[in-house]
């Protein structure tokens, strides 16, 4: 196993799912499975004891579910901010839609679906391990649906001002909230991808956001983006 391999804990109550993922990941030198958990409580314990880079977390597990386990993992980093805690990548199925928002708010950096292609799963693990968040278009649609179900969403016209955020940064935040990639944002605003990345980096700092996933959530909570009905 490569010295620079991403260290992963697999948390799923189905042994066959864990075994399948473990076998697939064994074929790459860039990812090392350092532990497996069949319950949320076991995932929390392993995250504390093994200190992996990423926990691939199922949502529906007996006892403590993946949302609560994610929350505890992010809290158990010594300072309570989640900055030094393992990253959590949620593993879910399409019938788990109602849990997506809860998992992201608990501190997950993104999610996978169990029928994704192997190369997408491996890529997602690397993205999250590198400190970025990952929202697939399907996840963004689920997040939007969750906000759409809320009573009296705040329309963008009445969005509260964001202290310290420039007009251009606000434009970028809106487009991040709509699920656009950096390349798509650059095209939309007629600026370079490097400039978009700089704006996103400043938004992380100004809004105290840990990754792109949280920027999407903040864009909706601030009323900068309204769900389509």
pTM over 0.75: no
At residue 53, does pLDDT exceed 90?
Answer: yes
Which structure tokens are listed for 51? Answer: 């200190």
At residue 76, does pLDDT exceed 70?
Answer: yes
pLDDT score for 88? 93
What tens digit of pLDDT does each residue of 147-161 get? 555 544 445 444 556
pLDDT score for 8? 96
- Of 35-44, 115-124, 179-188, give the lowest mean pLDDT range: 115-124
Q: Are 163 and 225 in contact (CB under 8 A)?
A: no
Residue found under tokens 């990812």: 31
Q: Which residue ranges form the domains of the chain, and what is each CATH number? A: 6-134 (3.40.50.2300), 154-221 (1.10.10.10)
Q: What is the mean pLDDT of residues 162-180?
A: 87
Residues 6+ apart with CB under 8 A from 17: 58, 91, 114
CA dihedral 82, 212, 169, 75 (to 10 degrees): -10
Q: What is the mean pLDDT of residues 176-193?
A: 88
Q: What is the mean pLDDT of residues 109-114?
A: 79
At residue 182, does pLDDT exceed 50?
Answer: yes
- Of 67-81, 131-145, 188-202, give the lowest mean pLDDT range: 131-145
| Confidence bin at 77 (pLDDT 50/70/90) | low
Which structure tokens are listed for 158? Answer: 């009445």
Residues 6+ apart with CB under 8 A from 179: 135, 137, 140, 141, 216
pLDDT score for 156? 47
Residues 6+ apart with CB under 8 A from 29: 1, 2, 5
Beta bridge partners of 57: 11, 90
Q: Taking Cα atoms as reference points, which of 1, 47, 24 lies closest to residue 124?
A: 24
Average pLDDT, the chain: 81
């Amino acid at each position: 196993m490569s010295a620079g391999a991403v260290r992963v804990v697999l948390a799923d109550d189905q042994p066959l799912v864990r075994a399948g993922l473990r076998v697939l990941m064994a074929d790459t030198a860039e990812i090392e499975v350092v532990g497996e958990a069949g319950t949320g409580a076991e995932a929390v314990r392993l995250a504390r004891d093994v200190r992996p880079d990423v926990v691939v977390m199922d949502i529906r597990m007996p006892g403590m579910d993946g949302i609560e386990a994610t929350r505890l993992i992010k809290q158990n980093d010594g300072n309570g901010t989640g900055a030094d805690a393992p990253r959590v990548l949620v593993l879910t199925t399409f019938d788990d839609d109602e849990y997506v928002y809860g998992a992201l708010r608990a501190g997950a950096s993104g999610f996978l679906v169990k029928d994704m292609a192997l190369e997408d799963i491996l890529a997602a693990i690397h993205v999250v391990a590198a400190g970025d968040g990952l929202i697939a278009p399907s996840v963004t649609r689920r997040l939007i649906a969750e906000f759409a179900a809320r009573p009296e969403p705040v329309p963008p016209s009445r969005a509260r001002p964001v202290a310290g955020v420039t007009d251009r940064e606000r434009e970028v935040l809106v487009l991040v909230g709509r699920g656009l990639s950096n390349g798509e944002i650059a095209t939309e605003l007629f600026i370079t991808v490097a400039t978009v990345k700089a704006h996103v980096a400043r938004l992380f700092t100004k809004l105290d956001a840990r990754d792109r996933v949280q920027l999407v959530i903040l864009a909706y909570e601030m009323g900068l983006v309204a769900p389509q009905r």
